[in-house]
Amino acid sequence: MGVRLGRRRTATAPELRAAIRAAAQELKDRIYGNRIVLFAPLYVGNECVNDCAYCGFRRSNTSAVRCTLDADTLRAQVVALERAGHKRLILVFGEHPDYGADFIAGAVRTAYAVKEGHGEIRRININAAPLDEAGYRTVKAAGIGTYQIFQETYHHDTYKKLHPANTIKGNYPWRLYVHHRAYEAGIDDVAIGCLFGLYDWRFEVMGLLYHAIELETRFGVGPHTISFPRINPASGSPLPTDPTYNKYLVSDEDFKKIVTLIRLAVPYTGMIITARERQEVRDDVMFCGCTQTDASTNIGIGGYSKNTGKQDIDEQQFMLGDTRSLEELIRDLAKRGVITSFCTAGYRCGRTGDQIMDLLKKGHEKHFCKLNAILTYREWLDDFASPASVKLCEGEGAAPSPRKTSQ
């Protein structure tokens, strides 16, 4: 890109950072096209037996408002999300005996069964504590999409310090090899990530990349997605004010560098930027190589049906930086020429795991996904968008209405 790399040049130089970013953007556009997949996280329960120092759900946090959604309350949350037009969810569970494989599978089936007007949830991913192989077979049978779980930090001493030994999560290998058990149980889409700000970000990036390499070497397919959340304020957590960890907090500039480096190092893996980040950071980083993001996010238990638009630090795992509604985010993306995708067709026809990876590597997948993205975008505009949003999002070459086409 016109930048000559001398021996003393480092990636801190502005022109080199610009070159890295441009390469990541070009790679993302070439493999995935100008689309972003949107989803919503839905917290089902925040009971937890662990005591992670950075988490608002830690068992020693007496300020946390504990709650587990029953079937009726879960349905109410899904109804609220379907009324906005969401079609993809990730259900999130604390680590607790009450949230075993059967409970998780039941929650997935309950959410899939909800149909509100034109609304329908077509793909449900889960973020849940490690299970054994039998447990993964149970949740797979319920029709889950991707199984997501993060190592949090790959640095052994830091992991040990933040996760007490008398907790389930204190077992580093049990968590590290969780994706192996999921693959062996037949789940072929898994997601990895770490929480940046717990240790040196350079070490964590290498941990993520070697984790991805190990999965691809062992199972022939790497992670479906990689996430890179930064530590945020959380109820009862001492970390944001602990000087031991201040040196590990990741600046906005380094965060952008993390995203671009991961995009270039793992070109065929999806990348998720979440509403943890402030709007201005998310809007910028989203175009460094990200493929998915959440919208209208409310991580308080039962928060979607309340629809207050407010955050309560004692009711959620951490504080969010961006609470734009689904419609607001779609409009903002449209202004930048981005197609919002709710695509789930590939998963429903079995284009997962090594099959989707093969198509990505051959450069074919973006053609399938681009078509499905346009159709689901058009579907959302027809069914859920305000007239102002329809006017903004429609343009020359806009996709015809699926219903009008079929008439």
Q: Return the biggest CA–CA distance within the chain.
A: 65
What would the 3-class secondary structure string for 30-83 be? HHHCCEEEEEEEEEEECCCCCCCCCCCCCCCCCCCCCCECCHHHHHHHHHHHHH
Percent of the chain with pLDDT over 90: 73
State the pLDDT at residue 354.
Answer: 54
For 57, residues 6+ apart whose C-beta sits below 8 A from its C-beta are 46, 47, 48, 64, 94, 317
State the pLDDT at residue 361.
Answer: 60
Token pair in block for residue 366: 């973006």
How far apart CA 367 and CA 373 sit, in angstroms, is 10
Bridge partners (DSSP) listed for residue 294: 39
State the pLDDT at residue 365.
Answer: 58
**How big is the chain by its Cα radius of gyration, in Å?**
21
Task: Write down the CATH number for the domain with range 26-396.
Answer: 3.20.20.70
How far apart CA 104 and CA 90 sit, in angstroms, is 12
pTM: 0.90
**Tens of pLDDT, residues 137-194:** 999 999 999 999 999 999 999 999 999 999 999 999 999 999 999 999 999 899 999 9
State the pLDDT at residue 244.
Answer: 77
How far apart CA 314 and CA 121 sit, in angstroms, is 29
State the pLDDT at residue 405.
Answer: 36
Cα–Cα distances (Å) from 134 to 93, 101, 102, 139, in that order, read: 18, 9, 11, 9
How far apart CA 284 and CA 258 sit, in angstroms, is 13
State the pLDDT at residue 356.
Answer: 53
For the chain, residues with pLDDT lower than 50 are: 1-3, 5, 396-407
What would the 3-class secondary structure string for the chain be? CCCCCCCCCCCCCHHHHHHHHHHHHHHHHHHHCCEEEEEEEEEEECCCCCCCCCCCCCCCCCCCCCCECCHHHHHHHHHHHHHHCCCEEEEEECCCCCCCHHHHHHHHHHHHHCCCCCCCCCEEEEECCCCCHHHHHHHHHCCCCCEECCCECCCHHHHHHHCCCCCHHHCHHHHHCHHHHHHHCCCCCEEEEECECCCCHHHHHHHHHHHHHHHHHHHCCCCCEEECCECCCCCCCCHHHCHHHHCCCCCHHHHHHHHHHHHHHCCCCEEEECCCCCHHHHHHHHHHCCCEEECCCCCCCCHHHHCCCCCCCCCCCCCCCCCCCHHHHHHHHHHCCCEEECCCHHHHCCCCHHHHHHHHHCCCHHHHHHHHHHHHHHHHHHHCCCHHHHHHHCCCCCCCCHHHHHC
State the pLDDT at residue 398.
Answer: 47
Cα–Cα distances (Å) from 343 to 38, 200, 371, in that order, read: 9, 36, 9
Burial per residue of 69-107, b for 16 or more beta-carbon CB atoms within 10 angstroms, e otherwise: beeeebbbbbbbbbebbbbbbbbbbbbbeebbbebbbeb
State the pLDDT at residue 164.
Answer: 93
